[in-house]
Structure 1
């Protein structure tokens, strides 16, 4: 029996190309039925424009079983239109030992269906018994067919709810995207898990892939979800395809909020370092100037004796800075004018300090934060990510500091948050993932624990993963465009964050790990000053006592030395 296969791309084919595979017993069906081949070719050539970009296979000479087996090959599973023309066995006349005007049955394939072949018409006596629909549109309605969706837990795109016994309930942004695709195309979702620790996968020495990409390449999964970046890195396009992107994402670094500065430094916070230096310089200059004026004044003969000493002049100026009242006043008009201006200066200075000090005693002051990759590079922190995807991108980056961070990069398979909370590294990931983790961790604390670095980099489009050359892509792309236009993706993200944050707070309440708040703070939002707020003042008190003790010991040593010198 002869088998003819006509493969054509509609709209471009000018003449049919046929390849014949002959068996030992050759019966030239195509030579005896040229009108059947011509009719088939005309229908291929004049197909509707809706399938102009699809290959169409017309197979003549297979049995029904052979045709069914052909539809299950790798190419057959990804061909939208296969037309099979099968010689009906009753059309052979044993009396004439040849072919009569018998029947030829025409079948078409049905992708993603239990009934892989559908009988559409019969060719009998130079015509079809009924007008066949050789190229039906079947992918817009998959009639409940089951599609395998490969995935792994990666919040907020794919999250597992394990509160109930049995398989976990999946929810999240991309889970809702796939469910919307299933509703639009009428297919059933069967979630399958990526092997533990493989995540998106990596290229193996033999050229194949592990993880999610490998499952799509092998055909184990029809669809893959899990924050998949549309990228051809490491020849990923050879293993999989992508839908139209439903999101664009910058990649940001999640960092631990640095510990606040110790409160004993609070008395120094009202002024910046340059202001303190200016005040110290003004104090030194004013004390010396007052002493010089006292010495050079023409009326200094009647001046108080305490201004004729440099030490006394400095004590006099220091007392004014501390708003200490002066019992004795200068007699010289020049010195009085200088002291009057000095009083105006120290009053403004003192009021400014007092007002700011009140605010800083109750505030928590943070050290300088890391906002750029330069800051991150100079800080000495490492950088981690889920999987090795970012490693080569950082190495080839045009950003000098990002390239420098490549030597500190560590790929992980789980729990990157622990690295952030320990303060040993920053976690680089998509913006939405960073926002989700930040909201979840900070939800159980009064003050933020983690933050997102301001500078982000490496923008990527995010799509749903598909098998290479899958016929599902045009239909899924159309539905994806509608999902994006409706704004549902951002809404599903917000819902995922809200659900996860609520569950996190409930868990913390159950385990009594949620931070307790002061009742007065919770009701009145007013903080009374406690010892922690005022510790800076007590440090100053202790420092002054320590200085007095040291001065006393120094005077005692000097007095004993003078006694010994007197005896000698």
Structure 2
């Protein structure tokens, strides 16, 4: 049964009715007069019995109004209907109190109160929280009322007004624009909006401010749990309250588990009786909720600290440090997961889907992705990147070529031309010394042995070998030449012995590939983890880099590439920190690594975290990463991770290097050569003799 009219409206309408007429069946000759304040004996034509009847009727009306205020509708209506029928049967006009007409007026009045209250609330919210926003007002026939729309149309905000009948009407809305956007969606039939919320992901302003007036809380929850609702930070819903003019205001609860919406305010008549500010930053403090992040071990970005049984105790590294900082500021915890085995970052399949980390982010299965993620235009269509916090070069790692034989180190101190000059000097020094000694003998007495060519050569060779000579020239000219020869050989032997010490301790490497041009000319395979670097080479502007794409081969794991690099049949392409870390830790022995980085690198890439496409986390993530960059935290996390890694791993102590037979093999070769030549000379002497 419909509720009766409000008390004030009933009384106002009753007073507007015509005055009661005389009851024709009452005798006019009756002399009895009433003595009540409402009917005095001086009132002409008012007998006493009529005054009593009027008084009773007024009492009945007051009782009816009192019972309506108390809420006892059924009893009051039945009682009044009976009494009014009796009075009408006696000739009184009681049309203003008939039930059917009163029921229709009551429903219309309540709707007017709700609409008027809603119009005031919408105007208040726009003035206070969308003052500088462009508006979109979308309504259907349920809210096609001047009481609702007129306050909005009177606002100075630029706006687009759309009447909604089907989803096609919502497609006409300008969903994408620069600056602040406010969307007032007034829909008594929410089906078009709920359909749009699950389709066409690009037709939605995920940063806009939404105020949706819908029939029920269930509709609000369905909208908040939709594909677009889960990624819209400022999504506000309004439904009717229990009393006329009352509206309940709800907001979506992002990252709160099962609860999709929560009530934040109540509007009644002209003001909020609870709450007030609707559009707050509700992502800045996630109140300890758990977010899922996908990562895998990839030093030095992400390290795993494992127990003896191989289980992961905790993670650390540059990327982990950045995410932990964000988690502390925004008050959430992280649950780490890994991509399927062998997929790592993932790649785009032939059917358009993505595998690995990228696939899980594109399917909204996880909230965050991290591990040395390059910012590239290829992935922008399926995810969003945060502000970069690091940058890296793409380099090539090749094997360290085997050093030259140690015995060759005896010749390394001088170049070939230097050795030729020394040999010429030695050959010339012997005859010059012999000629000077013979010439000096003509003018005076000179050492007889120096006049022999054989002895002079041995004399000069002894000086080159720092061997003291007991024969001293007697003539001045010969002494000057010998003194000059002493100075020459002293300097020569000191320089040689000094360089020889260095070359005995440091291995000399052969000529290696150092430039991209050399790599292209070598014909070696270029190996990488996944197809990312193959695409990067193909998009390069350098012709040599572009040509390397034909030699690129993708592998599922770096461990498959290392043997090929060590065998010299391939080089590995990857970011420089990873290659430097691998070369220095996995393939180093006593400070010497079997892997090395080529000198020429290419394509610096920015490193960032990845979040879901249109994720509401991005804005706050960007802000905190900016603070971390200004404080130098990424570099601090990198150095701290390396220190922790060295503490956890066994690192061999490097001391003074002792010379081995390998270092001195050259002198043994000379000894063996000398023995062979001596034996050969002895045989020749015996044969000739």
Q: Same fold (TM over 0.5)?
A: yes
Q: Once the 2 structures are TM-superposed, how far is the Cα of residue 374 of structure 1 from its aligned partner?
A: 4.8
SS of the counterpart of 2:228?
helix
* Cα distance in structure 1, aligned partners of 2:292 and 2:431: 86
* Cα distance in structure 2, aligned partners of 1:372 and 1:386: 21
1:545 aligns with 2:675: yes
**1:453-508 per-position Cα deviation (integer Å, ceiling 9, x unaligned):** 44433212111111121121111111111111222211111121122222221xx8
Question: What is the aligned partner in structure 2 of residue 566 from structure 1?
Answer: none
1:493 aligns with 2:638: yes
Aligned length: 516
Q: Once the 2 structures are TM-superposed, how far is the Cα of residue 278 of structure 1 from its aligned partner?
A: 1.6
Q: Once the 2 structures are TM-superposed, how far is the Cα of residue 242 of structure 1 from its aligned partner?
A: 0.7
Change (3 A) 1:239 1:277: same
* Cα distance in structure 2, aligned partners of 1:12 and 1:460: 38
Question: What is the aligned partner in structure 2 of residue 388 from structure 1?
Answer: 531
Question: What is the aligned partner in structure 2 of residue 96 from structure 1?
Answer: none
Instruction: Map 1:95-494 to 2 at 5 A.
Output: 101=244, 103-114=246-257, 115-124=259-268, 128-130=272-274, 132-163=276-307, 166=311, 168-232=313-377, 235-286=378-429, 299=442, 317-323=460-466, 338-367=481-510, 371-374=514-517, 376=519, 382-399=525-542, 401-403=544-546, 405-414=548-557, 415=559, 416-422=561-567, 424-441=569-586, 445-494=590-639
* Cα distance in structure 2, aligned partners of 1:289 and 1:407: 65
**1:77-131 per-position Cα deviation (integer Å, ceiling 9, x unaligned):** 111122223345x67xxxxxxxxx4654332212112321112344555765445
Question: What is the aligned partner in structure 2 of residue 18 from structure 1?
Answer: 138
1:31 aligns with 2:144: yes
Change (3 A) 1:125 1:395: closer
Tell whether the 8 Å contact from 1:228 to 1:464 is kept in structure 2 after alignment: yes
* Cα distance in structure 2, aligned partners of 1:547 and 1:349: 26
Tell whether the 8 Å contact from 2:132 to 2:180 is kept in structure 1 after alignment: no
* Cα distance in structure 2, aligned partners of 1:44 and 1:466: 37
Q: Once the 2 structures are TM-superposed, how far is the Cα of residue 408 of structure 1 from its aligned partner?
A: 4.0
**1:510-567 per-position Cα deviation (integer Å, ceiling 9, x unaligned):** xxxx68x7xxxx5xx474x5533332111111122233445566778x869xxxxxxx
**TM-score, length-scaled by structure 2:** 0.64
1:66 aligns with 2:212: no
* Cα distance in structure 2, aligned partners of 1:354 and 1:150: 59
SS of the counterpart of 2:371?
strand
Tell whether the 8 Å contact from 1:441 to 1:449 is kept in structure 2 after alignment: no
Question: What is the aligned partner in structure 2 of residue 24 from structure 1?
Answer: none
Which piece of structure 1 moves more, 72-81 or 409-418?
Answer: 409-418
Tell whether the 8 Å contact from 1:16 to 1:41 is kept in structure 2 after alignment: no
Which piece of structure 1 moves more, 459-468 or 121-130?
Answer: 121-130
Change (3 A) 1:455 1:263: same
Q: Once the 2 structures are TM-superposed, how far is the Cα of residue 360 of structure 1 from its aligned partner?
A: 4.2
Tell whether the 8 Å contact from 1:36 to 1:126 is kept in structure 2 after alignment: no
* Cα distance in structure 1, aligned partners of 2:547 and 2:265: 68
Tell whether the 8 Å contact from 1:160 to 1:168 is kept in structure 2 after alignment: yes
Change (3 A) 1:398 1:544: farther
Structure 2 unmatched ranges of 5 or more = 1-121, 159-178, 183-204
Tell whether the 8 Å contact from 1:35 to 1:126 is kept in structure 2 after alignment: no
**1:242-298 per-position Cα deviation (integer Å, ceiling 9, x unaligned):** 111111222344454444443322322332333212212333444566678799999
* Cα distance in structure 2, aligned partners of 1:551 and 1:363: 36
Question: What is the aligned partner in structure 1 of residue 118 from structure 2?
Answer: none
* Cα distance in structure 1, aligned partners of 2:662 and 2:588: 25
Q: Once the 2 structures are TM-superposed, how far is the Cα of residue 141 of structure 1 from its aligned partner?
A: 0.9
Tell whether the 8 Å contact from 2:395 to 2:601 is kept in structure 1 after alignment: yes
* Cα distance in structure 2, aligned partners of 1:347 and 1:36: 107
Which piece of structure 1 moves more, 385-394 or 318-327?
Answer: 318-327
Q: Once the 2 structures are TM-superposed, how far is the Cα of residue 68 of structure 1 from its aligned partner?
A: 0.9
Pick the structure with greater CA Rg. Answer: 2
Tell whether the 8 Å contact from 1:441 to 1:450 is kept in structure 2 after alignment: no
1:84 aligns with 2:237: yes
* Cα distance in structure 2, aligned partners of 1:190 and 1:38: 50
Tell whether the 8 Å contact from 1:440 to 1:500 is kept in structure 2 after alignment: no
SS of the counterpart of 1:139?
coil
* Cα distance in structure 1, aligned partners of 2:466 and 2:317: 63
**TM-score, length-scaled by structure 1:** 0.76
- 2:210 equivalent among 47, 57, 63: 57
Q: What's the RMSD between the two structures over aligned residues?
A: 4.2
Structure 1 unmatched ranges of 5 or more = 1-5, 21-27, 92-100, 509-513, 561-568
Tell whether the 8 Å contact from 2:524 to 2:571 is kept in structure 1 after alignment: yes
Tell whether the 8 Å contact from 2:437 to 2:447 is kept in structure 1 after alignment: no
